[in-house]
Amino acid sequence: MQITNQTISDIEQTSGGRLGVMAYAMGSGETVAHRPDERVPTASVIKLPLVIHAAMLAHEGQLDWAETLPLRDEDKVNGSGVLSDLTAGLRLSLRDLCQLTIVLSDNTATNMLIDRLGMDAINARIAALGLMHTRLQRKAFTPDTPATLPYGLGVSTPRETANLLHMLLRQDIIPAAPAQWVLDMLAAQRDRVGLPRYLPDGWVYAGKTGANDHLCNDVGIITAPDGRRWLIAAFCHDLPGPNYNVDNPGWLALAQLTKALIGCA
């Protein structure tokens, strides 16, 4: 990966925010790190370990993907997703709730999963995977407490999030079946204004984004037509805002970072 610290610093300065990056080139083993161990607010990126926990429970026989939950008016919350606009009484499988949580970052689906699985159990799984600085702190669009306020919905580090993606690809700590289920969901991600924004035709992205008034985050796996693969966890926070335009400087910074990391034109 032909990228210098100065290039990353220039991208960060242009964004107006603070950038944390951990990236791996899977074939060569090269790494790029910029504040990789700094704790960062995840926003919706924390939904990735939530869904991994559900997938592992299904693989372990402790949860049935086909189990359905009813959508209730009291479940509906604002922000990304579609369930808040749908009619109460609709029943959704746990598999579909996970798909909505990843692909559309649906906040209502996320909260329904948290209620079903339990926040303590989700965080216990995160710790069991060796992610000691990663934590789901609350449900989506619920008020912060003094304890959750510094990071909001979730907290992690670029290194831990990149390691989580690596676990999915290795399929050892996370077995092959649940890992592939989650990878397939990541590949269906609809939000492509960050890391994959400038990818040429034939390149493939699978990932999870997160954003709020002052941050743009994207973590994903990028695969070239020749099979070369990169893992990138990038968090651009402390941005001026709010700015939910697709040309938010934070999204543009992540897109420029991808170009610099993988050398695509």
Domain ranges of the chain: 5-262
pTM for this prediction: 0.96
DSSP assignment string, the chain:
----HHHHHHHHHHHTSEEEEEEEETTT--EEEESTTS-EE-GGGGHHHHHHHHHHHHHTTSS-TT-EEE--GGG--SSSSSGGGSPTT-EEEHHHHHHHHHHS--HHHHHHHHHHH-HHHHHHHHHHTT-TT-EE-S-TT-PPPTTTTTTTTEEE-HHHHHHHHHHHHHTSSS-HHHHHHHHHHHHT----SSTTTTPPTT-EEEEEEEEETTEEEEEEEEE-TTS-EEEEEEEEES-SS---STT-HHHHHHHHHHHHHH---
Work out the average pLDDT over 189-217: 96
From the list 48, 20, 42, the residue with the least C-alpha distance to 185 is 48
pLDDT > 50? residue 206: yes
pLDDT attached to residue 3: 82
Q: Mean pLDDT over all residues of the chain?
A: 95
pLDDT attached to residue 28: 87
pLDDT attached to residue 89: 96
pLDDT attached to residue 141: 94
Per the CATH hierarchy, to which homologous superfamily does domain 5-262 belong? DD-peptidase/beta-lactamase superfamily (3.40.710.10)
pLDDT > 50? residue 265: no
Q: In 10 A of CB 85, how many CB atoms?
A: 8
Distances (CA, A) of 198 to 53, 87, 265: 31, 37, 8
